[in-house]
Amino acid sequence: MNQDPNQNPYQATGQPPGVKSAGHPAPQNQNQGDATGGVIPYKNPPALIAYYVSILSLLPVLGIPFGIAAFILGIIGLKKRAANPVIKGAAHAWIGIILGGGTAVLWISLLVFGFGAAFFANR
């Protein structure tokens, strides 16, 4: 290996000799897709949070606020996806909307039915 001992082997090509490289990759373009963006949409936090919060909405009665939050975050995630299709996360957002909204309606209707049955049972 015939290299100049004073030359930095980690220096990026195309840089002037006096400029030292920090060893970090160049920042990526925000509109560029990546390998994990479709599986874990980390560039679309509302959709990802909607997905996880919708799982919490399965908790009886306590799931009402989680379901409402998942529904709202899912809609925000879909709007963000529509504004920039590269960021992905539509499936996570739809799961948040359907599961979160469905469980919120389920728990609210069960509460209303339960209180209604208890009210009319005492008459």
Share of the chain above pLDDT 90, in %: 54
> Do 76 and 64 touch, CB atoms closer than 8 A?
no
* Per-domain residue ranges of the chain: 45-121
Distance, in Å, from the CA atom of 63 to the CA atom of 70, rounded to the nearest integer, reads: 10
The pLDDT of residue 40: 82
Distance, in Å, from the CA atom of 87 to the CA atom of 43, rounded to the nearest integer, reads: 6
Q: Which two tokens stand for residue 41?
A: 């949409």
Q: pLDDT, tens digit, for every residue of 32-51?
A: 555 664 578 888 999 999 99
User: Model pTM?
Assistant: 0.67
The pLDDT of residue 41: 82
Distance, in Å, from the CA atom of 102 to the CA atom of 39, rounded to the nearest integer, reads: 24
